[in-house]
Amino acid sequence: MSDSSRPARGLSALLATMGTAHFLAPRPFDAIIPARLPGRARTWTYLSGAAELAVAAAVAHPRTRNKGALAAAGLFAAVFPANVKMAYDWRRRPLPLRAVAYGRLPLQAPLVAWALKVARDAR
């Protein structure tokens, strides 16, 4: 694989790791599902984990990388409300935990930018 595929491999690995975590340890993800969504939080946890695994597979394969990376950018944007909920819910927790929750908010922008770069590079 060339150096230009390194960002794609990293993005795919991140998505696969997080997608797998949704199934292996779903409780923390359940807790950040916005209550406005219909149905059970666990259903949304599993659906988002499956989406991350599907997007990881699409990014990993050169033929589907462009569309997969665009889907990854959309997915990162779509999960932002869960990160906002986590930051709100954790606002009274000890400082290290608050820092984690608040730190996730600005992290979404570079994740979206990374996915868009992988999509551009795949064209």
pLDDT for residue 4? 65
pLDDT for residue 1? 47
Q: What is the DSSP letter of 4?
A: G
Report the C-alpha gap between 85 and 69 in whole angstroms.
Answer: 25
Question: What's the whole-model pTM score?
Answer: 0.90
Residue 41: half-sphere exposure toward Cβ, Cα within 13 Å: 13
**Closest C-alpha among 17, 49, 20 to residue 32:** 49
| Ranges of the chain with pLDDT below 50 | 1
- Interval 63-87: pLDDT, tens: 999 999 999 999 999 999 999 999 9
Give, in degrees to the nearest 5, the angle at Cα 30 between 116 and 73.
5
